[in-house]
A and B are shown apart, each in its own frame.
Chain A
């Protein structure tokens, strides 16, 4: 059985006037119908990895890979038209702040219906029914009331649930969530993650969760990739943070203040240039 996503030797480069910046430097992994976490600090290339898979790398970025395949389809060779139709229907993305990813002058309902009808030939009434059902699935009470709201009338948690509904209504097989909860309050964060978790499990989707929050990702995902300077430095199994071997991962865990057993001063991460090699 072909894996949902195969990535082999993926590079993302940005040629600038002063030389090329290599954001992602040859990473490889495969994804089945599972929850994969990608963790790293800013500049580690984690977000660029997600964008490259979807074909959303900003210009003038260049993506190269020995193999980048979604469900057996070679994405590197696929024409732009095919990638666009894949994006949104079979693979999709949820971003950090719903306030910036939703259109401010369209109601929530219009946006969900539009994204549904862009990929499915259905009547307006059927699309509306599907949108209501989807909002119900992300546990929005009174979905018909929420459908008429504009994005600025939503709270952060509700906005992110609407965003998830909009992205999942077409029934994609792969969801890439880039820091989906980092703009949310901790108590709301749990709800959103639970909804995401349940939908992924029910639909048998593949999920890539990109975040800087190592603890959250490790407690949520089946597998965690730790990225540093554009490379994967370590792969961890779920909940196995204490078995991390790479000094970067260990440093990252160590430098967080902890409620239980805090240390003063906090251990500081000393970066070894050899890690980036």
Chain B
């Protein structure tokens, strides 16, 4: 097997000091091959977003090692890391600078990396995400949620990364817009040979976009499985099975029957 694009070994992230330390991530390991798509699934507090923050250096690692293309990733990250790894955030309303036009937003990464021919690159990047040049001088507030997310994707792709980290990229969008964005992400992946790490709470979205997935709970990996296993229900742990059952909609146990599962109070 060729060298994996990303190799994460025993990642752990702790917040706080002394007795108040909270392990947000505990001993998480995974690899990502070039062009592969990996899903990270879990509920709130599972640490799935912390994995992305740890990869990008936004959350400091307290243990473990991280390699990009076989080379250890230093902290703070070097410029070549940012050209290889980019990220799309959950909320397209918060991830675009409110006072910058689309043009300024897309010009920024090019200016930071001193890439020439910015104007033609920007128009090309807009076209890649299915927006015409007419959107170039608009402000984010003049765009719909789906259009904003397209701009965020264009910004991530304009540096031609090898890996795109997707942090719940469709959970703030309507279902019909979600479908468009998911299709776009699939097309772009095929066109540019991208590898994705997708964080989501929605099993159907993860199964749609990823071949392989990791289930996290309270900062630990509890299961590593495939989209196929998710589809035919052959998952190993009860927790994943419970999530799978819950995502199928509401099931009425009986008119007055008490709930079967004990209720958690935390």
Q: Which residues of A contact B (CB under 8 A)?
A: 41-42, 139-142, 146, 155-158, 185-191, 193-194, 197-198, 201-202, 212, 214-216, 218-220, 251-252, 255-260, 262, 264-269
CA distance A264 to B179 in the complex (A): 10
Q: Could you say which of B56-64, B148-156, B203-211 contacts chain A?
A: B203-211
Question: Judging by beta carbons under 8 Å apart, are B44 and A185 in contact?
Answer: yes
CA distance A191 to B145 in the complex (A): 30
Contact of B243 among A186, A255, A256 (CB under 8 A): A186
CA distance A266 to B175 in the complex (A): 11
Contact of B256 among A187, A190, A198, A219 (CB under 8 A): A198
- Shortest C-beta distance, B171 to chain A (Å), equals 9
Question: Judging by beta carbons under 8 Å apart, are B203 and A255 in contact?
Answer: no
Contact of B250 among A142, A220, A257, A267 (CB under 8 A): A220
A184: nearest residue on chain B (CB-CB)? B44
CA distance A191 to B230 in the complex (A): 23
- Shortest C-beta distance, B174 to chain A (Å), equals 4
Question: Judging by beta carbons under 8 Å apart, are B183 and A265 in contact?
Answer: yes
Q: List 29 A-B contacts (CB under 8 A).
A: A41-B176, A142-B265, A146-B265, A156-B44, A158-B266, A185-B43, A186-B201, A186-B247, A188-B43, A190-B250, A191-B261, A191-B263, A201-B255, A214-B175, A251-B176, A252-B175, A256-B204, A257-B182, A257-B205, A259-B230, A259-B247, A262-B207, A262-B208, A264-B208, A265-B186, A266-B182, A268-B179, A268-B180, A269-B179
Q: Which residues of B contact A (CB under 8 A)?
A: 43-44, 145, 174-176, 178-180, 182-183, 186-187, 201, 203-205, 207-208, 230-231, 242-244, 246-253, 255-256, 259, 261, 263-266
A261: nearest residue on chain B (CB-CB)? B231
In the complex, chain B residues whose CB is within 8 Å of the CB of A141: 263, 265
CA distance A218 to B251 in the complex (A): 11
CA distance A92 to B209 in the complex (A): 40
Q: Which of A142, A187, A197, A262 has the most CB of B within 10 A?
A: A187
In the complex, chain B residues whose CB is within 8 Å of the CB of A198: 256
Question: Judging by beta carbons under 8 Å apart, are A191 and B259 in contact?
Answer: yes
A145: nearest residue on chain B (CB-CB)? B265
A238: nearest residue on chain B (CB-CB)? B252
In the complex, chain B residues whose CB is within 8 Å of the CB of A194: 250, 253, 259
Question: Judging by beta carbons under 8 Å apart, are B259 and A268 in contact?
Answer: no
Which 10 A-B pairs have CB atoms at the shortest separation, nearest pair first? A257-B208, A255-B179, A219-B249, A185-B43, A269-B176, A41-B174, A266-B179, A265-B183, A186-B246, A220-B250
CA distance A266 to B173 in the complex (A): 15
- Shortest C-beta distance, B176 to chain A (Å), equals 4
In the complex, chain B residues whose CB is within 8 Å of the CB of A264: 186, 208
CA distance A269 to B253 in the complex (A): 34
Question: Judging by beta carbons under 8 Å apart, are A268 and B176 in contact?
Answer: yes
Contact of A266 among B208, B242, B247, B256 (CB under 8 A): B208
Question: Judging by beta carbons under 8 Å apart, are A190 and B175 in contact?
Answer: no
Question: Judging by beta carbons under 8 Å apart, are A187 and B205 in contact?
Answer: no
A270: nearest residue on chain B (CB-CB)? B176
Question: Judging by beta carbons under 8 Å apart, are B203 and A259 in contact?
Answer: yes
Q: Which of B145, B182, B251, B265 has the most CB of A within 10 A?
A: B265
CA distance A109 to B146 in the complex (A): 41
Contact A260 B43, CB 8 Å, known A140-B265, A186-B246, A269-B176: no
Question: Judging by beta carbons under 8 Å apart, are A259 and B246 in contact?
Answer: no
Question: Judging by beta carbons under 8 Å apart, are A255 and B250 in contact?
Answer: no
Question: Judging by beta carbons under 8 Å apart, are A260 and B231 in contact?
Answer: yes
Question: Judging by beta carbons under 8 Å apart, are A42 and B204 in contact?
Answer: no
Not counting A42-B145, A219-B250, A257-B207, a sample of 5 additional A-B residue pairs whose C-beta atoms are within 8 angstroms of each other reads A41-B174, A141-B263, A187-B243, A187-B246, A216-B249
CA distance A22 to B43 in the complex (A): 37
CA distance A265 to B253 in the complex (A): 35
In the complex, chain A residues whose CB is within 8 Å of the CB of B44: 156, 185
